[in-house]
Structure 1
Amino acid sequence: MLKTMLALVALVAAASAPAQTTDAGGACARLAAQTGLKQQSDGSWRANMLGGVGAALFGGTTGATFQVQPIEGSTAEQALEKACQQERAAIACRVSGPARIIVGTKRGNASIDLASGETAEVGMKGRYLTCRRGK
């Protein structure tokens, strides 16, 4: 009897818990937790990769690497060999899931998985790492 009641309590608790979604602020919010991106007033996200007092006083350089990889349930063609394109002084990776985006900076590598149908545009313009919901 006690086991049955415990099972019912666990079942009711699980049914009343809110469903977790992969969106939870979108791909950029998930990437922000790893890279320090801050949300801008236009809904995009941005981080100054040069940053710091030393860079302001003495100058410096910055850069980032971008990789798009297939994840389980997708093929290499879907991972988009041409997802990342140089556009003038910027690079932009326009990705539609399912796919994995890996961003490498001097702070280390950040990685997020895009669910099927989820889109993101991640890139670098000048000294800024940028992210926005894809179109």
Structure 2
Amino acid sequence: MLLIELNAAVGDMLSYNTDRSVQETNIDFAQENRSILAQARTFGLRIPFKRPAITIVDFSVEVPVKGDTFDLSYAPLVLRGAQVIGGGQSFETIDEIDFSSPFNVSGLTNRIILPNIDNNGNIVSYTLTKERL
């Protein structure tokens, strides 16, 4: 008796899933937006929509020398929501970028310090670079 009930339940689930699959292929009865959009694309309709994108951006700033190191008072703070454009796309920062801190929001080091040297071998400034998502 248990085997018969199990077979009936499996048959019922298969019938339900088959009916749902066929229903989503008919534009009059489709319930999911992605099914309707897929059918529209099949018929050649171009549907514009925003595509989310993520990229890694290097922000660099040049700060003057203060003694034998760089002057942290010139290190800027780039606020959350700053927008940059690259490759025809506009990107927005999701966190603040603090050049005075060697760490990012997650606590990982992400600051690169490069000295800028003149023809005489003297350090004239430093370039601070931070990588952000």
Class of the TM-score when normalised by the shorter of the 2 chains: under 0.3
For the pair shown, the structure with the greater C-alpha radius of gyration is: 2
**Structure 1 length as normaliser, TM-score?**
0.25
More helix by share: 2
**Structure 2 length as normaliser, TM-score?**
0.25
